[in-house]
Amino acid sequence: GEDVEQSLFLSVREGDSSVINCTYTDSSSTYLYWYKQEPGAGLQLLTYIFSNMDMKQDQRLTVLLNKKDKHLSLRIADTQTGDSAIYFCAESITGGGNKLTFGTGTQLKVEL
Amino acid sequence: DTGVSQNPRHKITKRGQNVTFRCDPISEHNRLYWYRQTLGQGPEFLTYFQNEAQLEKSRLLSDRFSAERPKGSFSTLEIQRTEQGDSAMYLCASSLGQGFPEQYFGPGTRLTVT
């Protein structure tokens, strides 16, 4: 079955890099995603990576995928207070209609 | 393009009442998804549509839940005989369809059952 796990909490200082980690169990993942959720809001798609890639960079965001270990990470460079939010990783499975299976989310707190 | 919209944003209802939520996807998006999110958890898949066809339903979607997308545009999610355990955020998302992995979410409808 599908299972996605994340650590619950991460605290960083403004200007530092943040690294949020995620592990998944299903080897037939097609895409892996990172979403951001601010309090009381819906989910904002940050980035996604195709499962045959190992890295994707988009401005301050770098996604690393280790398919052998089923490990996904999101690095945010120069973290700002506006980055404080809950970050969810998610996977979609081949042939699954692209429905998403989410982790429990990592709360990122950025301190001055 | 105004993004995915959902109405109402908040709904408070008494146990046993029926409620209906609406989702308007991004224009020209063929796929529409419903998810449910409880406090402290990630969203869980409920069901999805390709145009007007409902292609998959999660086992989370009990008989009290029904979803429609009659003309392949907006969708409704109805919960009959609500229970306190139905209290959650109901999220809608849309995508262009097969081969397009980007899935965009609406702001959600927060349901509170008293």
Q: Report the distance separating Cα B4 and Cα B103, nearest Å.
A: 10
Nearest to A109 by CA among A8, A10, A30: A10
Q: Report the distance separating Cα A100 and Cα A32, nearest Å.
A: 9
Taking contacts as CB-CB distances below 8 angstroms, the residues of chain B near A53 are: none
Closest Cβ–Cβ partner in B43, B101, B108 for A31? B101
| DSSP one-letter string for A41-55 | --EEEEEEEETT-SE
Closest Cβ–Cβ partner in A42, A44, A104 for B108? A42
Task: Name the residue with tokens 């996605």.
Answer: A4
Taking contacts as CB-CB distances below 8 angstroms, the residues of chain B near A88 are: 42-43
Determine contact: A87 vs chain B, CB below 8 A.
no
Over residues A58-86, the mean pLDDT reads 96
Determine contact: B55 vs chain A, CB below 8 A.
yes
Closest Cβ–Cβ partner in A45, A98, A102 for B42? A102
Q: Report the distance separating Cα B85 and Cα B23, nearest Å.
A: 22
Closest Cβ–Cβ partner in A31, A41, A99 for B45? A99
Q: Report the distance separating Cα A77 and Cα B95, nearest Å.
A: 29
Q: Provide the mean pLDDT of chain B.
A: 95
- CB count within 10 Å of CB A94 equals 12
Count of alpha carbons within 13 angstroms of residue B22, beta-carbon side: 7
Nearest to B90 by CA among B52, B33, B49: B33
pLDDT confidence bin for A77, thresholds 50/70/90: very high
Higher pLDDT, B37 or A39: B37
Higher pLDDT, B41 or A94: B41
Over residues A92-112, the mean pLDDT reads 91
- Distance from the Cα of B18 to chain A's closest Cα (Å) equals 24
pLDDT tens-place string over residues B48-90: 999 999 999 999 889 999 999 998 899 999 999 999 999 999 9
pLDDT confidence bin for A26, thresholds 50/70/90: confident
Determine contact: A45 vs chain B, CB below 8 A.
yes
pLDDT tens-place string over residues B93-112: 999 988 899 999 999 999 99
What is the pLDDT at residue A27? 78
What is the pLDDT at residue B5? 97
Q: Report the distance separating Cα B28 and Cα B63, nearest Å.
A: 30
Determine contact: B101 vs chain A, CB below 8 A.
yes
Q: Taking CA atoms, what residue in B is nearest to A89?
A: B42
Q: Provide the mean pLDDT of chain A.
A: 93
Interstrand relation of A18-24 and A4-6 (parallel, antiparallel or unpaired): antiparallel
B42 neighbors A86 (Cβ within 8 angstroms): no
Determine contact: A90 vs chain B, CB below 8 A.
yes
Among A51-65, A66-80, A88-102, B10-24, where is mean pLDDT lowest? A88-102
Q: Is the confidence at residue B31, as pLDDT, over 70?
A: yes
